[in-house]
Amino acid sequence: MILRLSLEEGFFLIYAMNCIEIYDGSQKLSIEQCWNLFSNADPNFIKCYIIYHHFRSKGWIVKSGEKFAGNYILYKNGPQFFHATYIVIIDTENSASSDKKQWKQILPIIRVAETCKKEVIIARIITHGITSFEGVKTPMNLSSVSVHETLVQRWFISDK
């Protein structure tokens, strides 16, 4: 059987759940080999995995948020049971863009979320003892980062 997973989903099932194995030809890959392979395949893998792992560990079903202009969307029990509750935008504490530029990118996502009856979470990766989240060279370094969630809502005040 062929199962198609995102890199984050696959790594979570290897590392956190220990329920699948990944092979390169006939050779089974270790957790570290998978981490290196996935990190080299996608330059955003580490930051995406940190956020993916954070929300999966909290019990959310995490899926791609591209359809809603975000990084991820979060489901309570899965897409077959409910609509997604949140759109997640990944942010890093050493983000090079200015606050004004970031808000110009976030405001349209908030409007999309409101139209789709979802809320927006900005998930910021905070590093501890390393210079950036890219300092997470192995999955064993995941304890060097944490995630801060900010719920963003658009308020409309009527004069009625």
Q: Which are the catalytic amino acids?
A: 75, 83, 118
Q: What is the CA radius of gyration of the chain?
A: 17
Tokens of 136: 């997470």
Tokens of 31: 């957790």
Rounded-to-integer distance, Cα 11 and Cα 34, Å: 7
Token pair 């006939």 in the structure block, residue = 26
Residue pair 99/105 in contact (Cβ under 8 Å)? The answer is: no
Tokens of 42: 């996608």
